[in-house]
């Protein structure tokens, strides 16, 4: 064995060992009870939106202000602990508040509707992965012996724009045991194959109050084994060529080895061993990890593993130099073209929103152009200025690569054309005197159809979209206009005026220096770097700006101190990425690490982690450029998650890889021939949390239209960050 291979295997073993210690959970610890607030010890009435009042439980029927018809956490009765959920039924016709399930697993409220009072309580609508076969639920109820209570599993689906259609229910009305006035009801419910959500409900037809405590809900998966890889592939010299084996159920015979198969001739070209990581209780999945980093021969491959006499295969992938830039650079910027507003996009839509926009004072201002921000048609200058910067930055740093793409024959690279398209829109939005800008052009989220049909495209007819904010600070436009000004000088004057008025961060200053080569900006960058250097040598504060400075001026005297900041940041990233998938995690309110954003109310705004993953990847490459080679491994692990090495085994960048989500949350699904709503090159919000209090992944893999926006909607900032990454990869 050569020294290089030996060193890599030793490093891989050390990484595997450390990850095993941090990740392994014994299967015998049992499945996780996913019932929300299962013993009602958490009084969650302080939730901001006050809709998910008890952390995932809702009343069935009309709630009244006087408490004659309500659910409430009570401290006067409990089976275990100190609290339970009291249900105060009222079979009469009442006026009050009705809670009902709605789009994207959220809840809505109707006021002042006459109907039957509270008859029970129900959980949130649990999102269901496609492999869930059944549900086991149990609940303890304190009630009068003569009262009748029914426990139900109610299955729902989504069709077209109707989000919550009941298709079946299974119920039990007889307790399986009782003790001290408490009755236990148990239910095993088989899923209808089209169901995408399920609720557990406890109801009565009587008028006597009853109490609920010690609820348990478990889901059972169908058996399947998945081999997870980066579906694009791995750079030849990468030492982060990790692969993952995943099983939905415990395997009677543990997997041992795997083979790398060359698709050119079906030969086995490499073998390796699986390292067991055990059972992830939160995710209800079993995992093993393998590594093919020692193999560096370019080609196209699959992973094969044999378990119990059956062969399982990964999706195909490549090993090749310059893979990420060469295969993703064009689709990453091309996405913006398909999102264009104010012109016809062939094969997608006709010219749209040509009457943008109505100002707050009722006057009209030409604000056509720009990009649809996400899966809706609204335009926001939250991320549009960053998009112009991302496009210009990628072009500036990879000009030789991007100059090969000139589909419109303009004599200018398409990516630069795209940056100009955005800059022209920003120019319309900026007030040249006040240097303030329009923030939002929006009609809300109610329209779902062809973009050219939302308005009549004629100004002054009354259906124009409205400007929501016309006095936003325009400084966000500075970096993009400055860097674009290197190639199209007309934008430099506005950028320099913005800097004179507002100043700027390192991005802005470096963009101005790259475009103008003026000493004033070189000096400003140095002063900002000095101001950002932390006094604490163990601090990573300001790392990203400092790293960009050090890379721009590698001989600057501050570089050694900046590398100390980099060492601190690498130490932090190694801790937050110390998990099987090697991806960045966040701190929860109790300081523990979690994978997915924690929300307590189903109505809270939350989306997947694509931005955070790519921010970590960008920092990883900055570290690599500063001499910390472990940074590249961190970056590649984030990219691998996005491109298929994730628990769903799908690439969340449309068209890059081989397995994708069935549907995008995008109004383009109203366009004939694009029922998936897919946009080439789009990076989705990504995997998010399935239920409020469980750090369990969710990606909407159901085939019914209009999937959840939280994971399945594309959004400009994700592609922005991918272009940042392409620029320095």
37: left (phi over 0), alpha (psi -120 to 50) or beta: left
Domains and CATH numbers, the chain: 3-30+223-319 (2.60.40.10), 57-221 (2.60.120), 322-524 (1.50.10.10), 533-729 (1.50.10.10)
User: Residue 654: is its pLDDT beyond 90?
Assistant: yes
What are phi and psi for residue 262, nearest 5 degrees? -80, 120
**Pairing outcome for strands 57-60 and 120-123:** antiparallel
Assign 201 a pLDDT band (cuts: 50, 70, 90). Answer: very high
Query: 70-128, pLDDT tens digit by residue?
Result: 999 999 899 999 999 999 999 999 999 998 888 888 888 888 778 899 999 999 999 99
pLDDT recorded at residue 22: 35
Inter-residue contact 402 to 332 (CB < 8 Å): no
Inter-residue contact 608 to 718 (CB < 8 Å): no
Query: 284-333, pLDDT tens digit by residue?
Result: 999 999 999 999 999 999 999 999 999 999 999 999 999 999 999 999 99
pLDDT recorded at residue 13: 38
Distance of alpha carbon 426 from alpha carbon 444, whole angstroms? 21
User: Residue 24: is its pLDDT beyond 60?
Assistant: no
pLDDT recorded at residue 46: 62
Distance of alpha carbon 648 from alpha carbon 268, whole angstroms? 26
pLDDT recorded at residue 109: 86
CA distances from 44 to 67, 84, 97, 596 (A): 18, 13, 19, 20
Assign 254 a pLDDT band (cuts: 50, 70, 90). Answer: confident
What's the token pair of residue 524? 């400003």
CA-based radius of gyration for the chain = 28
User: Residue 12: is its pLDDT beyond 70?
Assistant: no
User: Residue 23: is its pLDDT beyond 80?
Assistant: no
Distance of alpha carbon 534 from alpha carbon 520, whole angstroms? 24
Contact residues for 523 (Cβ-Cβ < 8 A; gap 6+): none
Inter-residue contact 112 to 56 (CB < 8 Å): no
User: Residue 6: is its pLDDT beyond 90?
Assistant: no
Instruction: Look at 25-39, 157-171, 582-596, 611-625 and tell me which has the smallest mean pLDDT.
Output: 25-39
Query: 493-539, pLDDT tens digit by residue?
Result: 999 999 999 999 999 999 999 999 999 999 999 999 999 999 998 99
What's the token pair of residue 442? 């929006």
pLDDT recorded at residue 161: 76
**Pairing outcome for strands 472-473 and 436-437:** antiparallel
Pick from 11, 572, 21: nearest CA to 240: 11
Distance of alpha carbon 240 from alpha carbon 323, whole angstroms? 14
User: Residue 180: is its pLDDT beyond 90?
Assistant: yes
What are phi and psi for residue 665, nearest 5 degrees? -85, 90
Mean pLDDT of 11-35: 52
Helix spans in 194-322 (H): none
Query: 684-705, pLDDT tens digit by residue?
Result: 999 999 998 899 999 999 998 8
Contact residues for 233 (Cβ-Cβ < 8 A; gap 6+): 300, 317, 318, 319, 320, 323
Mean pLDDT of 198-204: 97
Inter-residue contact 380 to 374 (CB < 8 Å): no
Distance of alpha carbon 561 from alpha carbon 535, whole angstroms? 10
3-state secondary structure of 706: coil
3-state secondary structure of 213: strand
Residue 237: exposed, middle, or buried by beta-carbon count in 10 A (0-12, 13-18, 19+)?
exposed
50: left (phi over 0), alpha (psi -120 to 50) or beta: left
CA distances from 391 to 324, 421, 469, 555 (A): 16, 11, 25, 28
pLDDT recorded at residue 112: 78
What's the token pair of residue 287? 């995992």
pLDDT recorded at residue 52: 63
**Pairing outcome for strands 210-221 and 257-262:** unpaired
Contact residues for 30 (Cβ-Cβ < 8 A; gap 6+): 281
Pick from 138, 141, 152, 188: nearest CA to 35: 138
What's the token pair of residue 631? 């940074």
Contact residues for 452 (Cβ-Cβ < 8 A; gap 6+): 349, 350, 351, 352, 353
What's the token pair of residue 669? 């699904």
b or e along 633-656 (b: 16 or more beta carbons within 10 Å of the residue's beta carbon)? bbbbbbbbbbbbbbbbbbbbbbbb
DSSP string, 521-563: HHHHHHHHHHHHS-SSTT--TTHHHHHHHHHHSTT-TTHHHHH
pLDDT recorded at residue 601: 83
Mean pLDDT of 360-387: 97
Strand partners, 311: 306
Total residues found in the chain within this entry: 729
Assign 617 a pLDDT band (cuts: 50, 70, 90). Answer: very high
Instruction: Calculate the CA 351 to chain-centre distance.
Output: 30
3-state secondary structure of 169: strand
User: Over pLDDT 90: what percentage of the chain?
Assistant: 87
User: Residue 14: is its pLDDT beyond 80?
Assistant: no
Alpha carbon distance, N-terminus to C-terminus of the chain: 31
Counts for the chain of helices (H) and strands (E), in that order: 15, 33
Torsion, Cα of 129, 703, 713, 390 (10° steps):
100
- Please report which helix (H) or strand (E) contains residue 154, including its range: strand 149-159
Pick from 520, 511, 625: nearest CA to 562: 625
3-state secondary structure of 211: strand
Instruction: Calculate the CA 174 to chain-centre distance.
Output: 42
Distance of alpha carbon 607 from alpha carbon 609, whole angstroms? 7
pLDDT recorded at residue 50: 53
Distance of alpha carbon 219 from alpha carbon 32, whole angstroms? 9
Mean pLDDT of 342-346: 98
Mean pLDDT of 245-274: 95
What's the token pair of residue 496? 């320099």
Distance of alpha carbon 254 from alpha carbon 645, whole angstroms? 21
Who wins on pLDDT, 144 or 162? 144
pLDDT recorded at residue 170: 97
- Please report which helix (H) or strand (E) contains residue 437, including its range: strand 436-437
Distance of alpha carbon 341 from alpha carbon 334, whole angstroms? 14
Q: HEC profile for 28-47? A: HHCCCCCCCCCCCCCCCCCC
CA distances from 499 to 104, 490, 496 (A): 41, 16, 5
Distance of alpha carbon 182 from alpha carbon 154, whole angstroms? 24
State the chain's mean pLDDT as an integer: 93
> Residue 670 CB: number of other CB atoms within 10 A?
17
What's the token pair of residue 360? 């707050």
> Residue 416 CB: number of other CB atoms within 10 A?
24
What's the token pair of residue 164? 């919550």
Residue 461: exposed, middle, or buried by beta-carbon count in 10 A (0-12, 13-18, 19+)?
exposed
Assign 585 a pLDDT band (cuts: 50, 70, 90). Answer: very high
pLDDT recorded at residue 607: 94
């Amino acid at each position: 064995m050569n020294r290089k291979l030996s060193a890599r295997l030793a490093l891989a073993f050390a990484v595997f060992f450390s990850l095993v210690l941090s990740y392994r959970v014994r299967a015998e610890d049992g499945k996780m009870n996913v019932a929300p607030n299962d013993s009602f010890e958490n009084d969650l009435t302080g939730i901001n939106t006050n809709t998910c009042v008890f952390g995932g439980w809702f009343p069935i029927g009309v709630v009244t202000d006087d408490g004659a018809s309500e659910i409430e956490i009570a401290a006067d009765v409990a089976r275990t602990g100190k609290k339970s959920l009291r249900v105060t039924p009222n079979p009469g016709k009442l006026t009050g508040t009705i809670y009902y399930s709605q789009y994207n697993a959220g809840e809505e409220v109707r006021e002042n509707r006459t109907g039957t009072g509270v008859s029970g309580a129900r959980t949130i609508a649990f999102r269901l992965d496609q492999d869930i076969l059944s549900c086991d639920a149990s609940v303890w109820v304190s009630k009068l012996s003569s009262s009748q209570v029914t426990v139900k599993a109610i299955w729902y689906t989504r069709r077209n724009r109707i989000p919550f259609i009941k298709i079946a229910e299974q119920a039990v009305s007889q307790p399986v045991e009782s003790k001290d006035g408490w009755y236990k009801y148990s239910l095993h419910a088989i899923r209808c194959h089209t169901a995408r959500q399920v609720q557990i409900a406890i109801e009565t037809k009587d008028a006597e109050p009853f109490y609920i405590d010690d609820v348990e809900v478990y889901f059972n998966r169908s058996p399947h084994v998945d081999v997870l890889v980066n579906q694009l592939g791995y750079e030849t010299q990468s030492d982060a060529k990790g692969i993952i084996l995943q099983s939905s159920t415990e395997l009677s015979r543990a997997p041992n080895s795997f083979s790398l198969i060359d698709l050119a001739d079906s030969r086995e070209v490499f073998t390796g061993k699986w390292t067991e990581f055990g059972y992830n209780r939160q995710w209800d999945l079993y995992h093993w990890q393998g590594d093919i980093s020692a193999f560096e021969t370019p080609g196209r491959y699959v992973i094969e593993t044999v378990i119990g006499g059956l062969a399982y295969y990964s999706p195909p992938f490549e090993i090749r130099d310059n893979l990420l830039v060469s295969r993703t650079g064009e689709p990453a910027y091309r996405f913006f073209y398909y999102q264009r507003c104010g012109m016809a996009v062939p094969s997608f839509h006709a010219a749209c929103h040509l009457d943008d926009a109505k100002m707050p004072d009722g006057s009209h201002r030409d604000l056509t152009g720009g990009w649809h921000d996400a899966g809706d048609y609204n335009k926001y200058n939250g991320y549009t200025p960053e998009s112009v910067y991302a496009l210009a930055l990628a072009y500036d740093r990879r000009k030789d690569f991007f100059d090969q793409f000139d589909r419109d024959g303009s004599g200018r690279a398409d990516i630069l054309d795209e940056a100009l398209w955005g800059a022209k829109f920003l120019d319309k939005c900026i007030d040249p005197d006040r240097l303030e800008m329009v923030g939002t052009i929006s009609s809300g989220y109610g329209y779902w159809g062809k973009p050219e049909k939302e308005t009549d495209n004629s100004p002054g007819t009354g259906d124009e979209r409205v400007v929501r904010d016309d006095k936003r600070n325009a400084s966000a436009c500075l970096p993009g206009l400055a860097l674009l000004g290197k190639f199209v000088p007309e934008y430099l004057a506005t950028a320099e005026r913005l800097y004179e008025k507002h100043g700027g961060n390192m991005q802005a200053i470096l963009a101005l220096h790259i475009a103008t080569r003026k000493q004033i900006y070189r000096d400003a960058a140095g002063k900002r770097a000095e101001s950002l250097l932390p006094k604490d040598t163990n601090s990573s504060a300001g790392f990203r700006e400092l790293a960009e400075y050090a890379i721009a001026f590698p001989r600057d005297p501050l570089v050694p101190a900046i590398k100390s900041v980099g060492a601190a940041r690498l130490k932090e990233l190694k801790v937050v990425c110390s998990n099987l998938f090697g991806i960045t995690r966040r701190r929860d309110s109790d300081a523990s690490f979690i994978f997915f954003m924690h929300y307590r109310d189903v109505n809270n705004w939350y989306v997947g982690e694509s931005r955070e993953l790519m921010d970590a990847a960008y920092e990883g490459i900055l570290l690599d450029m500063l001499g910390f080679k472990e940074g590249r491994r961190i970056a590649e692990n984030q990219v691998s998650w996005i491109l298929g090495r994730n628990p769903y085994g799908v690439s969340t960048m449309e068209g890059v890889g081989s397995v994708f989500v069935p549907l995008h949350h995008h109004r383009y699904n109203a366009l004939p021939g694009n029922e998936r709503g897919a946009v080439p090159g789009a990076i989705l919000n990504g995997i998010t949390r399935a239920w409020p209090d469980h750090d369990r992944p969710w990606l909407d893999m159901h085939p019914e239209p209009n999937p959840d926006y939280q994971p399945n909607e594309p959004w400009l900032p994700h592609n922005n960050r991918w272009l940042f990454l392409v620029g320095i990869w």
